[in-house]
Chains A and B, each alone.
Chain A
Amino acid sequence: MSVNKEKSKSAKTVVIATPIIVLVICAALAAIMCYFPVRKAETLMNIAFSADPDHAQISEIKYDTKEVEAEIDGNKIVYPSFGAEYASLKIDSINLEAPVFWGSSEELLKQGVCQYSGSVFIGEQGNVVLDAHCNTYFYELGNVKEGDIITLTTSYGEFIYKAKEQVLFKETENRYISPTADDRLTMYTCYGNLLGPTEDRLAVICELVEKKFYE
């Protein structure tokens, strides 16, 4: 009787244990078979979509928005982060007063004038390059005449420029936005009396008249 009971007990154990054994073996085999294809798929996903295991979507990524203070020739200067509003532009002759953002993007261009991040920071020696759309902030850029005064104000100083010349150039021509040895301000926008996209650009090149760093 007890032998029968023992037999029935061990048969029950086998019946219960078998699915577990099969599952473990299958899972192990599947893991081995899938290891390289999954790794490859993961790499491809990362290349194509930058799949992030932490699920940080691009909108959730926090950029360092700290401004960096530095000193140049004994003057304090503040380096802004991308997208920071760090100056204001004033051109009395065309009644323009607009915020200046560091870096350029479609969103920033909607809000003001953008400074090309390949140019020098306001106050540093070289070419400060600003751009805005021809139908918004730089609508009247073409009316800036030689001798007009342009003021850039930042948290660390005020910089006054005088318009020197107006130039027309093609989008692909980079010489007007390239670094220069002299202190200058270049403001440019799209140019054309027709609708639609254009390759023509209008620039106003200004020379530095005065640099006033705050104490």
Chain B
Amino acid sequence: MKKFNNYAASLIFTILTAFFIIFTVFVRFAGTTVMNEKFYTDIVKSEKLTDSVLNSINKFFDDSYASSGIPAEVYLNAIDKDELESAICNKIENTLLGIKGEKISDKEVFNFSEVEKSITNYFEAFAEENNVDVNEKYQEQLDKTIAAAKTEIENHIDIFMLEIMERSGVLEKAEKLYPFLTPVMIAVISALAVCIVILAVLNRKSISALFYWGAVSCLCSSVIVAVPCLILKFSDYFNGLVIRTDYIFKSVTAVLYSMVDTLLLVQIIIFAAAVILFVLYAVTGRLKKS
């Protein structure tokens, strides 16, 4: 009877340990991956998202040539790829720093002076060629064109639709939740430690049994998270997201797949830990017998 009670208690605390391992992974994941600017800026670089953004800007201004009369090159030649990439990264960093309540960099997200100069030069050349009066209306039209170009480029810089998220209140919610991340992390790790200690006390007479229950916890927690991750990854689930803008689709899906990959990697490590614990259980069990 005593043996059965011990088994049942170990079983319950193994289940609890498995869940606290999962919670620890997710809270740590939120802190080190979801809220990490570098995670996103690395994706921008590795997935060459700046090229997609430039293609999209090119397409937009090329399409609007027929109505505006301004060739896409007027805008494109004034946009430096590295500067655009750093603007994209700045936008992400500033948003995440804002959520974390840290000081936002004073750096302008994108320096439009070259674009302004290029449009102004083109207008001036056009006016000279077509004998257009440089009057108030001319200046108004020039200002309007520059403003429209700035808006379009700024929209393209926001590859994760952060402005939309801000308007819909998602970022505000994240800002409110962020301060709880560390206390939750401490609480979850403490709970995990308590469960491990209880398992150790329950199996104090046999170290191999402790290895066994630990292995079972690790195995279950890794399988429970890894299976949905594998389904998401190998069914290309995120490719089904209907995002009409190519560069946003590429950015969003790259981030989602990267998150899945990171989670999978952690689960592989936990699974390996489970295997090691099972081996230790077998070895210590055999030593005990001999």
Contacts and interface: CB of A to CB of B under 8 A. Distances in A.
A19 B215 CA distance: 9
Interface in B1-32: 7, 11, 14-15, 18-19, 22
Interface stretch (A48-56, A67-75, A154-162): A48-56
A29 B15 contact: yes
Contact of A19 (B132, B220, B238): B220
Given A18-B11, A30-B224, A49-B252, A190 B67 contact: yes
A95 to B, nearest CB: 19
Contacts of A193: 130, 132
B66 A133 contact: yes
Contact of A22 (B18, B239, B244): B18
Contacts of B123: 194-196
B64 interface: yes
B202 interface: no
Contacts of B64: 197
Contacts of A174: none
B243 A133 contact: no
Interface string B140-173: 0110110010000000000000000000000000
A135 B69 CA distance: 7
A135 B67 contact: yes
B103 interface: no
A176 to B, nearest CB: 18
Interface string B54-88: 00000000011111111000000000000000000
A196 B68 contact: yes
Given A134-B67, A196-B142, A19 B240 contact: no
Nearest to A189: B67
Contacts of A49: 241-243, 252
A25 interface: yes
A26 B224 contact: yes
On chain B, which size bracket covers the interface?
A: 35 or more
A15 B216 CA distance: 10
The interface residues of chain B, by DSSP majority, are classed as helix
B137 interface: yes
Contacts of A53: 240
Given A56-B240, A57-B239, A135-B69, A15 B212 contact: yes
A110 interface: yes
A45 interface: yes
Given A110-B63, A195-B68, A196-B142, A19 B11 contact: no
Contacts of B68: 135, 195-197
B219 interface: yes
Contacts of B132: 193-194
Interface residues of A, number: 38
A109 interface: yes
Given A15-B212, A55-B239, A57-B242, A197 B148 contact: yes
Nearest to A55: B240
A58 interface: yes
A190 B162 CA distance: 33
Contacts of B244: 58
A196 B144 contact: yes
Given A135-B66, A193-B132, A195-B123, A18 B242 contact: no
B15 A25 contact: yes
A50 B19 contact: no
B86 to A, nearest CB: 28
A23 interface: yes
A106 B216 contact: no
A136 B67 CA distance: 8
Please list the 8 inter-chain residue pairs (A to B) with the smallest Cβ-Cβ separation, ordered nearest first. Answer: A196-B145, A133-B66, A49-B241, A50-B242, A55-B240, A52-B240, A194-B141, A26-B220
26 contacts: A14-B7, A15-B212, A19-B220, A23-B219, A23-B220, A26-B18, A27-B224, A49-B242, A52-B240, A52-B242, A54-B240, A55-B235, A57-B242, A58-B242, A110-B66, A135-B65, A135-B66, A136-B66, A194-B126, A194-B132, A195-B68, A195-B70, A195-B126, A196-B142, A197-B67, A198-B67
